[in-house]
Structure formats: structure tokens, C-alpha cells
């Protein structure tokens, strides 16, 4: 395959794996909600209101375990195991890509260790430890407030349903977390692999690759437009200006808190932009390319 075909194959491989994983989230989320509600129904009530008793406080402590048990479901675990298999495929495709654009690329053991570390972190983040930490704390807060204030059981049930299941305003807690975590994990692995190779080979030119998504942020939307116009290729020295929101002759909004374009991960710098790109859940890639494919007149501006 040509380099362009390999980039297209990489995108398809990542997106297909994620789309397949997303299919497992409805049942996992439903299972987690049912387990939590099973414990909540044991709360001691008086006239429909929750009593601040020892038994009820112990329910709060048990909620994280309910979540951990829910994601031990064999089907969900199988979906996570299948998702991380994409990292092997990503490694293979990117090895083929860098071998196609240069004759000096040979992946070292560092690449293999990076893959194993990423697999371990992704499994941990999407199973019992990650789920209980990310969602369990919020659930415990909801329960603690309702129990100590003597709220009505009906109100508590609605709060839990609003938080844990899909509503008109968005996905439930588990789907929201697992979607963002899985997308970020596999795309960041691909980006980290890319950056290791980029640094090894001393490449300084890039393309911003990927299609427009429904959730694409203004930065990514403008970068996609720029690729077909004023910024087909990006030189490494241009990245600091991109992080200030300057894309060709236009600007995108800068977040007051981070000092970066809206949606960016706090702490994004020119050095790690290739990894973090447009932020959490970003499905775009900053792919390094050999200088030989960049038009001579453009290269001359940066030499």
C-alpha cells in the first residue's frame, strides 16, 4: 500500500475497533444501573424518606463494588480485550507507513514496551478500577447527600437514573466515561507511536489527518479546512502558533483557564501536541511526513 493508503487504513482500523467497542456499552451501563439500584432499594425509609442510619451509610461504601461487579460481566470484558487488540494492528500499520516513507526506520524495543504499557492502562481504565474511581465517587456523593439530608427515595431514584442512564441531554455516566476513555486511549497510543518514530527519524513536517465528526471542536474543524487550502503541510515551527489558536489567517477561541484552544487537554505544549492533538476524545492525527513530498517552495520558507 502507498503511504496515503496506510494512513487511511490506520484511521479505519482505529474507528472500526472503537465503533465495535461502543456496542458493548449499552448492556454494561444497564447492568451497572441495575446493580446500584438493587443496593439502593435496601435503604431504610420512613414515610418515603431516607433515614440517616448506619445501614444506609454502609450502602454508600458498597456502591463502588457494585460498579466493579457490573463490569466483570464476561461480555464487557471480552469487548475490552478485543478493543486493545487494535494496538497490535496500529503498530503493524505504522511500521509499514514509516518503512514506506524512509529507508532508515527500525522499531526498537521501546515501541513494544509502549504498546504493552498502553494495553495495561487501557484495560485498567475500562474495567473495575477505572470505572469505580471515575463513576463511583460521584455516586457516593449523590447517596451521601440524600441520606444525610433525609431526602425522598423518589428524588434519589430520579437523580441516579439521570446520572447513570441515557437521557435527552446525553449519555449515561458509564457510556460517557468509557467512550471518551477508549477513544482517547487508542488514538493517543497511535499518536505516541507516531511521535516516537518522528523523533527517531528527525521528521519536521506533518499533515493534520481525519474527517469532521459531529463532536469536532472548532480547532479541528479549522485544521481540516486548512489542509485543503492554506496549510496542506505543517512545519514543526508552526505548532506554537497553532496552540495560540492562529490557523492561517483566522483564529479560534482560546480557553481562559488553559490558555489553549477550547477542548484542549490542559498542559498541551508544542512538544506533546502530536500526542494530545485536539483534546479528549479527538479522532484526528498529526502524521509526520518526509520533507521530500512537501513542495520545494514551501520547504524553502522554513529552511
**Any domain includes 148:** yes
Helix, strand, coil tally for the chain in percent (to 5)? 65, 10, 30
**Residues 147, 208: one domain?**
no
Pair 147, 233 in one domain? no
Residues 23 and 156 in one domain: yes
- The answer to whether residues 243 and 269 touch, using CB atoms and an 8 Å cutoff, is yes
Give yes or no for a contact between 76 and 27, defined as CB atoms under 8 angstroms apart.
yes
- The answer on 210 and 177 residing in a single domain is no
Query: Model pTM?
Result: 0.91
Task: Indicate if 111 and 241 belong to the same structural domain.
Answer: no
* Residue 247 and residue 150 share a domain: no
d(CA 6, CA 9): 5
Do 155 and 13 share a structural domain? Answer: yes
Last residue within a domain, chosen from 137, 161, 193: 193
Give the pLDDT score at 11: 94
> CA 95 to CA 196: how far, in whole Å?
11
Count: domains in the chain: 2
For the chain, what is the mean pLDDT? 94
Is residue 19 in a domain? yes
- pLDDT (average), residues 247-266: 93
Pick from 193, 223, 245: which residue ends a domain?
A: 193
Domain stop point among 137, 164, 193: 193
- Give residue 212's pLDDT: 73
140 and 212 fall within a common domain: no
Neighbours of 209 (CB within 10 A): 19
Same domain, 171 and 94: yes
- Backbone φ and ψ of 44, nearest 5°: -80, 130
H or E element at residue 294: none
Claim to verify: residue 120 and residue 180 sit in the same structural domain = yes
Residue 137 shares a structural domain with residue 265? no
208 assigned to some structural domain: yes
Q: Do the domain assignments include residue 123? A: yes
Sign of the dihedral defined by the CA atoms of residues 128, 131, 137, 143, in that order: negative
Instruction: Say whether pLDDT at 234 is over 90.
Output: yes
User: Which pLDDT score is estimated for 300?
Assistant: 94
Q: Please, what is the end-to-end C-alpha distance for the chain in angstroms?
A: 31
pLDDT at 123: 95
Confidence of residue 210 (pLDDT cuts 50, 70, 90): confident
What is the pLDDT averaged over residues 95-99? 95
Contacting residues for 24 by C-beta, under 8 A, at least 6 apart: 75, 76, 79
Domain range enclosing 39 = 1-193
- Stretch among 3-12, 149-158, 205-214, 223-232 having the lowest mean pLDDT: 205-214
Write out the H or E segment, with its range, that includes residue 251: strand 250-251
Cβ 221 vs Cβ 253: under 8 Å: no
Indicate whether 222 and 284 sit together in one domain: yes
In this structure, is residue 198 part of a structural domain?
A: no
Determine the pLDDT at residue 214: 74
Q: What is the pLDDT of residue 128?
A: 82
Amino acid at each position: 500500500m502507498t503511504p496515503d493508503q496506510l494512513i487511511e487504513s490506520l484511521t479505519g482500523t482505529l474507528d472500526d475497533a472503537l465503533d465495535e467497542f461502543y456496542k458493548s456499552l449499552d448492556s454494561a451501563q444497564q447492568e451497572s444501573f441495575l446493580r446500584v439500584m438493587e443496593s439502593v432499594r435496601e435503604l431504610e425509609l420512613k414515610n418515603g424518606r431516607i433515614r440517616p442510619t448506619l445501614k444506609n451509610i454502609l450502602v454508600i461504601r458498597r456502591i463502588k463494588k457494585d460498579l466493579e461487579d457490573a463490569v466483570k460481566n464476561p461480555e464487557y470484558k471480552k469487548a475490552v480485550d478485543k478493543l486493545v487488540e487494535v494496538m497490535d494492528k496500529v503498530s503493524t500499520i505504522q511500521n509499514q507507513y514509516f518503512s514506506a516513507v524512509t529507508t532508515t526506520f527500525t522499531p526498537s524495543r521501546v515501541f513494544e514496551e509502549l504498546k504493552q504499557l498502553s494495553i495495561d492502562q487501557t484495560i485498567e481504565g475500562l474495567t473495575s478500577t477505572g470505572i469505580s474511581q471515575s463513576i463511583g465517587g460521584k455516586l457516593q456523593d449523590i447517596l451521601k447527600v440524600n441520606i444525610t439530608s433525609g431526602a425522598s427515595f423518589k428524588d434519589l431514584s430520579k437523580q441516579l437514573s439521570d446520572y447513570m442512564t441515557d437521557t435527552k441531554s446525553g449519555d449515561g455516566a458509564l457510556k460517557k466515561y468509557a467512550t471518551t476513555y477508549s477513544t482517547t486511549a487508542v488514538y493517543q497510543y497511535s499518536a505516541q507511536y507516531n511521535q516516537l518514530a518522528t523523533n527517531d527519524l528527525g521528521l519536521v513536517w506533518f499533515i493534520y489527518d481525519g474527517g469532521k465528526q459531529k463532536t469536532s471542536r472548532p480547532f479541528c474543524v479549522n485544521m481540516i479546512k486548512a489542509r485543503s487550502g492554506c496549510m496542506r503541510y505543517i512545519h514543526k515551527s508552526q505548532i506554537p502558533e497553532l496552540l495560540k489558536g492562529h490557523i492561517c489567517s483566522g483564529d479560534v477561541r482560546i480557553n481562559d483557564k488553559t490558555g489553549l484552544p477550547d477542548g484542549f487537554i490542559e498542559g498541551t505544549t508544542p512538544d506533546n501536541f502530536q500526542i494530545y492533538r485536539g483534546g479528549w476524545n479527538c479522532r484526528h492525527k498529526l502524521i509526520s511526513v518526509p520533507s521530500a513530498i512537501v513542495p520545494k517552495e514551501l520547504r524553502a520558507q522554513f529552511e
